[in-house]
Structure 1
Amino acid sequence: MTELKNIMFCATAFAPSLLGAKELPNIIYIVTDQQTASAMSCMGNTDVHTPNMDRLAQAGILFKNAYCSAPLSGPSRASMFTGHTSHEVGLSRNNVPVADSLRTASLGWLMQRAGYECTYGGKWHVHTPSMPDGEFGFSTIHPHNDNGLAEASVAFLEQKHSKPFFLVVGFDNPHNICEYARSQNLPFGNLPELPQDEWPGLPSNFARNPYDADVIDYEQTLNYSAYPTRHYSPDDWRRYRSLYFRLVEKVDAEIGKIVDAIDKQDLWKNTVVIFTSDHGDGMGAHHWNQKSALYEEVVNVPLIVTLPGKKNAGKEMPQLINEGVDFFASVCDWAGISLPGGLHGVSFRPLVEKADPQQVHQPYIVSETTFDKGVARGWALRTPRYKYVLYDKGLYREQLYDMVNDRGEMRNLAIEKKYRQILLQHRAYLNEWMKLHHVVQIRPEVHLIPNM
């Protein structure tokens, strides 16, 4: 009798795979690498042309305030697929293996147990470049290589599927801007350069804020390979931005092949399509390239969600999303999986299904960083109006910005007395978040947050 009860418990624990699997939506997750939120023409950027990302935005819901969990590939992707903030599970840097205890509870295995066919193509980077076949609950259809990835994904979509599928398509571009900055050949083919008079201009926040955290400049000196741009001229930066946008356009064309296949196979009626990136790029703002720093261009990422039947198509949403832990929670929600204990992501499924810009979601989200091959740690806490940034060391390590009037982060309000109460409130929020996620302080008597 006891054995029978155990069998019945197992059946109900994974009910979606046994009861009404046809009602579960397919989920297609398209992830680029190093694409900032503003690098899409549907965001009003006239320096880049992204017709296929725009098609997704026209068919779905566009979030303006989605942020990566961590502005570095490995940590960001680890958060997406484990549901934890990367630092609390020892994955704060690239090239760190996932602990065995996390592997079996990772998203692919949860989805597979819930009745999904789980398939992965392209960049993985947690910690191997490609997804190991079968190791995280996914069957692999293509390695870490943008060439041929769209075609492999299309071939998968053209197959007959006896159960709902969860397809992840991980593109590398526009990450090739890293090789460009190092004067190397681009891994997936060099691009023809535009003439100089067609290069985009410099961003309005090209200059460094005089009260910016000085640890950022220090980190540049530590890692020349990542930041060979320290002595760029204005025209060097214009050329950089031109190539960056061309790389975005290149990956947009690849995404178009997948969107065409969704059209051709008539998959919109029962498929959730989510498009995002693991983090952004400095793009010359504050003279910064690459990631790691907590500038808006680095942590604010694209997020477009297309619902079955293209419900609420064309809507734009202002709510705050952590495109790491919240993604994990959302996919679990669509699959009918209860969020595992100890996870704190908030599903954005109710947001997109209601599509009310006034709907309350969560009071703040946090991105955290450990500089790639560097020493500094930092946190960016975003509320609806403000962004609070804290680094663990250095001059002006504390920053506060009005994201309505100063999205370019040029006026650090943390040094102004009249914003004192707002500063204190954001310190309290971050302290609350640090406790929830077990952030270790420097010493019991030395708190990372001032005056805590």
Structure 2
Amino acid sequence: MKTTRRRLLQSAAAFAAAPALHLGGAQPTANRPPNILFLYTDDQACWGANAYGFPEPHTPNMDRIAAGGALFENAFVTTPVCSPSRASLFTSQPSFRTGIRDFLDYRREPELGLSEQFPTWPLLLQQSGYRTGLFGKWHLGTRAEHHPTRRGFHEFMGFLEGGNNPMDPFLEIEGKTSQIKGPLPDLLTDAALGFIKRHRTQPFLASVHFRAPHSPYGPVPAADTAAVADRQLAPPNVAGLDVGDVLKRRLGHYASIASVDRNVGRMLDALDSWGLASNTLVICTSDNGYMIGHHGALGKGNATSMLPARNRLPNMFEDSVRVPMYLRWPGRVRPGTRIREMVTNLDYFPSLLRIAGAAGAIPDGFQPCGRDFTPLLLGEKTAWRSTIFGDYDMYHYFEDSMRMIRTERWKLVTHSHIDVAHELYDLQHDPGETRNLIGSFAHSEVKIDLRRRLYAWQTWMGDPRRRAPWEEM
């Protein structure tokens, strides 16, 4: 059965009270915590955003968020593929703890999903008086016990599996799935705006999880294709690539990003027109990065080579793990703020709970692995991390357990697969990660130090796949 967009906006409302917020001396509007609009794209790297200095995409509305608030120059995900990244976002735990180690394939592993043993920050916001809604991609379990309404959302409109049609998608609305006419980003935005309008008199969390710009990139509305049609794309600097194929794919990817950006503008305009912008925290980020010809690859952490061999390229490249991240909070975050410190998707849990005045809702005995980044937002002096870690146990398509340690200058990536070499990059002198220094005698001390620090982290975190450095020698 096909459903119209009018039906999609019809749903009952319920009231939820919320406690007051006190953060850095700032008083929230009407003595209540801020609303939260969380915008989440799928497979968008920093090269897919104008605000990061790349002219080819079309992201004027994402840029509005950055200009009106903060841009994080070094935001990372700890696992560069869909399901593990999303589980870590919600729980502030690495993928080897959540048990969601690769993207979920419900044909092969229908029993897997986000376990109730882990609290999620939407659940704790819900328990603290927020009205919560998720609109879009879930990809964290299809069984009833894994449903978004069991993991912190009062309302869900979207799809449980990873893929969907960019046009005329199949969507679950009020527990029933049907095909709906229209572009998927627009339909999700329609539902989110309806939710916000119904609950605008109370604190709300509206999470909009776009499927775009994940492939297939189209079809998209003609206006979004036209927005990037005149782009002069730079050819990839990798020998052996089919340049025409790469540029065609990139143009389609940019059109898909434009379809999201246009709907981001719709939501920002609605917040303005409804008088909600001044007390709404807006976040825009992605679940992982993406490559189209970068390193000769297509995809993210489980990429495929675009060279004739078409082999799998398991990786933790910057284009896979580094993502755009903008945050606007009028009256609290100074417009045009740029934050250089390294943050990860594990940091949302403690940060958003503090901002919402709900940090006290964290259960006793549960320790988030992320850090509260609100001091960075507010310009407060604080000692911050200089090292981040990542993990990815790839088992679809190819088996390779990767672990990453990244400092402000160095990155070490280890691989379990015997045919994949460990990697060491000097990001200061080689930001494009084109020269693997793992076999360089001149960098032996750096390699040994990073490897020992990585093992210490794995031991402390209880990584079941940890391997001592001396076992590799």
Do these two structures clear the TM 0.5 threshold for a shared fold by scoring above it? yes
Partner SS, residue 27 of structure 1: strand
2:176: which partner in 1? none
Flag the 1:193–1:346 CA change in 2: closer, same or farther, 3 A.
Answer: same
Matched residues in 1 for 2:339 and 2:374: separation? Answer: 13
1:137: which partner in 2? 152
Deviating more after overlay: 289-298 vs 26-35: 289-298
1:97: which partner in 2? 113
Partner SS, residue 158 of structure 1: helix
1:347-384 per-residue CA deviation (whole Å, 9 max, x = no partner) reads: 1111111167xx54212112221334321111222211
> Aligned pair 1:172/2:186, yes or no?
no
2:11: which partner in 1? none
Report the CA distance between 1:156 and its aligned residue. Answer: 2.3
2:193: which partner in 1? 154
Report the CA distance between 1:17 and its aligned residue. Answer: 6.3
1:201: which partner in 2? 234
Q: Which amino acid aligns with 2:235?
A: L
2:258: which partner in 1? 249
TM-score normalised by length of structure 1: 0.80
Deviating more after overlay: 418-427 vs 275-284: 418-427
**Corresponding residue pairs, total:** 398
Q: Which amino acid aligns with 1:28?
A: L
1:366: which partner in 2? 389
Q: Which amino acid aligns with 2:153?
A: F
Flag the 1:47–1:146 CA change in 2: closer, same or farther, 3 A.
Answer: same
Answer 1 or 2: which has greater strand percent. Answer: 2
Q: Which amino acid aligns with 1:315?
A: T
1:319: which partner in 2? 341
Matched residues in 2 for 1:192 and 1:127: separation? Answer: 33
Q: Aligned runs of 1:228-247 on 2, under 5 Å?
A: 233-247=242-256
Partner SS, residue 91 of structure 1: coil
Conservation of the 8 A alpha-carbon contact between 1:294 and 1:380:
yes
Report the CA distance between 1:197 and its aligned residue. Answer: 8.9
Partner SS, residue 389 of structure 2: strand
1:265-302 per-residue CA deviation (whole Å, 9 max, x = no partner) reads: 23232222111000011121111111122111111111
2:9: which partner in 1? none
1:380-439 per-residue CA deviation (whole Å, 9 max, x = no partner) reads: 222112222111123562222122221110112222222222222221221122112211
1:84: which partner in 2? 93
- The runs of 5 or more residues in structure 2 that have no matched partner are 1-15, 22-30, 105-111, 160-183, 302-314
Report the CA distance between 1:70 and its aligned residue. Answer: 1.0
Q: Aligned runs of 1:374-385 on 2, under 5 Å?
A: 374-385=398-409
1:74: which partner in 2? 83
Q: Aligned runs of 1:103-122 on 2, under 5 Å?
A: 105-122=119-136
Flag the 1:37–1:20 CA change in 2: closer, same or farther, 3 A.
Answer: same
1:447: which partner in 2? 468
2:414: which partner in 1? 390
> Aligned pair 1:63/2:63, yes or no?
no
Flag the 1:199–1:159 CA change in 2: closer, same or farther, 3 A.
Answer: same
> Aligned pair 1:334/2:355, yes or no?
yes
Answer 1 or 2: which has greater helix percent. Answer: 1
Conservation of the 8 A alpha-carbon contact between 2:77 and 2:323:
yes
Flag the 1:385–1:98 CA change in 2: closer, same or farther, 3 A.
Answer: same
Flag the 1:355–1:233 CA change in 2: closer, same or farther, 3 A.
Answer: farther
Matched residues in 1 for 2:331 and 2:141: separation? Answer: 36
Matched residues in 1 for 2:48 and 2:435: separation? Answer: 23
Report the CA distance between 1:107 and its aligned residue. Answer: 2.2
Matched residues in 2 for 1:232 and 1:388: separation? Answer: 27
Flag the 1:450–1:32 CA change in 2: closer, same or farther, 3 A.
Answer: farther
TM-score normalised by length of structure 2: 0.77
1:17-37 per-residue CA deviation (whole Å, 9 max, x = no partner) reads: 675363322111110000002
Matched residues in 2 for 1:129 and 1:67: separation? Answer: 29
2:49: which partner in 1? 40
Matched residues in 1 for 2:266 and 2:137: separation? Answer: 18
Matched residues in 2 for 1:120 and 1:419: separation? Answer: 47
1:405: which partner in 2? 429
Partner SS, residue 291 of structure 2: coil
Matched residues in 2 for 1:409 and 1:57: separation? Answer: 27
Conservation of the 8 A alpha-carbon contact between 1:311 and 1:353:
yes
Q: Which amino acid aligns with 1:353?
A: L
Matched residues in 2 for 1:197 and 1:306: separation? Answer: 30
What's the % identity of the aligned pairs?
28
Matched residues in 2 for 1:167 and 1:409: separation? Answer: 37
Partner SS, residue 289 of structure 1: strand
Report the CA distance between 1:309 and its aligned residue. Answer: 2.2
- The runs of 5 or more residues in structure 1 that have no matched partner are 1-15, 181-185, 208-230
> Aligned pair 1:423/2:447, yes or no?
yes
Report the CA distance between 1:97 and its aligned residue. Answer: 1.2
1:347: which partner in 2? 372
1:126: which partner in 2? 140
Deviating more after overlay: 29-38 vs 399-408: 399-408
Flag the 1:197–1:111 CA change in 2: closer, same or farther, 3 A.
Answer: closer
Matched residues in 2 for 1:172 and 1:74: separation? Answer: 13
1:68-93 per-residue CA deviation (whole Å, 9 max, x = no partner) reads: 12111111101111221122121112
1:261: which partner in 2? 270
Report the CA distance between 1:326 and its aligned residue. Answer: 0.8
Conservation of the 8 A alpha-carbon contact between 1:61 and 1:304:
yes
Conservation of the 8 A alpha-carbon contact between 2:351 and 2:374:
yes
Q: Aligned runs of 1:16-27 on 2, under 5 Å?
A: 19-20=19-20, 22-27=31-36
Conservation of the 8 A alpha-carbon contact between 2:136 and 2:209:
yes
Matched residues in 1 for 2:246 and 2:374: separation? Answer: 39
Report the CA distance between 1:128 and its aligned residue. Answer: 3.7
Conservation of the 8 A alpha-carbon contact between 2:88 and 2:98:
no
Matched residues in 1 for 2:232 and 2:438: separation? Answer: 35
1:303: which partner in 2? 325
Deviating more after overlay: 142-151 vs 26-35: 142-151
Conservation of the 8 A alpha-carbon contact between 1:194 and 1:242:
no
Matched residues in 2 for 1:146 and 1:129: separation? Answer: 25
